[in-house]
């Protein structure tokens, strides 16, 4: 009896499934719906803000790009895909912070540097391991870059040197995370007083150009340099020319 009921129920389900199989009709459906809404969300979050001071993350970056930010030059909106990649990187940072706390080592996260006149910044963390302090800087990168990474990236070393300088700490750690495979590489960096001084001097020189309205030279290897590929100021940089130029005269020329 039970077997007969089960067979009857099964037959009914099969028959009903034949009747109510939804038909897919591409011509009646929009090509995008959620993607468009999600992309618009990320685009709407972008705001062009005038930069009023240097940040440690500016170290090693294109001086012309930084100049344009100080002048609040209209910029191309970033691709929502890139913004989602950045967001994923922030999530990985938080995950590492949680692990460090659970390891119960001495750790303070997101530490602002002591107040400076022209430079601001916030280190990912300061660690105390075996009674020795380290500044930790976390970088998330894609698998291809991670696989070929045999030494820390130059611009990352520059940034870490400035953290070491302003915190008066002699050792730092650059921790790279493969965003795709979750592998980790770390590099130890010792404080280099001469290099830190050069970087601070570079900021002071760029400050003079901002104050006197002199657009800096383009960076070497323009436009193949990796920074150019993601730059939001590609159009205005192309119109400005290769060398230094008066910002006021350039604006007059462009009307």
SS3 helix, strand, coil % of the chain, rounded to 5?
Answer: 50, 20, 35
Given a cut of 60, whether residue 200 has pLDDT beyond it is yes
The predicted structure's pLDDT at residue 122: 95
Higher-scoring residue by pLDDT: 33, 198: 198
List b or e across 229-245, with b for residues whose CB sees 16 or more CB atoms inside 10 angstroms. eebbbeebbeebeeeeb
Average pLDDT over residues 154-171: 97
Tell which residue, 181, 217, 227, 212, has the closest CA to residue 57. 227
Contact 163, 134 (CB under 8 A): no
Cβ partners under 8 Å of residue 238, min gap 6 = 223
User: Mean pLDDT over all residues of the chain?
Assistant: 86
Calculate the alpha carbon distances from 43 to 9, 39, 84, 190 in Å. 52, 6, 11, 40
pLDDT at 204 over 50: yes
Residue bearing the bigger pLDDT, 180 or 204: 204
Check residue 230 and give its pLDDT: 84
Label residue 3 by pLDDT band (50, 70, 90). Answer: very low
Minimum mean pLDDT range among 48-52, 194-198, 206-210: 48-52
Q: With bands split at pLDDT 50, 70 and 90, how would you rate the model's confidence at 86?
A: confident
Distance CA 108, CA 220 (A): 38
Is the pLDDT score of 167 beyond 60? yes
Domains of the chain: 56-254 (3.90.320.10)
Determine the pLDDT at residue 2.
Answer: 47
In angstroms, the CA 190 to CA 179 distance is 26
Residue pLDDT, tens place only, 94-146: 999 999 999 988 899 999 999 888 899 999 999 999 999 999 999 999 999 99
Strands (E), the chain: 54-55, 106-112, 119-120, 122-129, 132-141, 171-178, 184-190, 214-215, 245-246
pLDDT of residue 4: 54
Residue 74 has a pLDDT of 87
User: Any idea what DSSP says for residue 181?
Assistant: T
- Two tokens at 107? 């750790």
Look at strands 119-120 and 54-55 and give their pairing. parallel
How many whole angstroms separate alpha carbon 201 and alpha carbon 205? Answer: 6
Whole-model pTM: value is 0.81
Q: How far apart are CA 159 and CA 41, in angstroms?
A: 31
Q: Is the pLDDT of residue 214 over 90?
A: yes
pLDDT tens column, 9-40: 555 455 555 555 555 555 566 666 788 887 77
d(CA 239, CA 49): 22
**Three-state SS annotation for 183-199:** CEEEEEEECCHHHHHHH
């Amino acid at each position: 009896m039970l077997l007969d009921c089960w067979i009857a129920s099964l037959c009914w389900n099969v028959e009903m499934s034949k009747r109510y199989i939804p038909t897919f009709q591409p011509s009646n459906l929009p090509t995008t719906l959620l993607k468009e809404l999600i992309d618009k969300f990320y685009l709407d979050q972008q705001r062009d803000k005038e930069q009023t001071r240097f940040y440690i993350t500016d170290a090693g970056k294109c001086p012309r790009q930084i100049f344009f930010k100080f002048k609040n030059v209209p910029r191309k909106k970033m691709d929502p895909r890139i913004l989602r990649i950045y967001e994923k990187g922030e999530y990985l940072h938080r995950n590492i912070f949680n692990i460090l706390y659970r390891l119960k080592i001495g750790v303070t996260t997101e530490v602002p540097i002591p107040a400076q006149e022209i430079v601001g910044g916030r280190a990912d963390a300061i660690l105390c391991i075996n009674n020795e302090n380290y500044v930790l800087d976390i970088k998330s990168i894609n698998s291809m870059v991670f696989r070929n990474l045999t030494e820390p990236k130059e611009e990352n070393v520059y940034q870490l040197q400035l953290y070491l300088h302003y915190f008066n700490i002699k050792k730092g750690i650059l921790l790279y995370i493969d965003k795709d495979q979750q592998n980790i590489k770390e590099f130890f960096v010792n404080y280099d007083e001469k290099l830190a001084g050069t970087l601070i001097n570079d900021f002071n020189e760029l400050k003079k150009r901002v104050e006197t309205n002199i657009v800096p030279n383009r960076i070497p290897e323009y436009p193949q340099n990796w920074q150019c590929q993601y730059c939001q100021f590609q159009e205005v940089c192309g119109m400005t020319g290769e060398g230094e130029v008066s910002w006021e005269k350039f604006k007059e020329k462009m009307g």
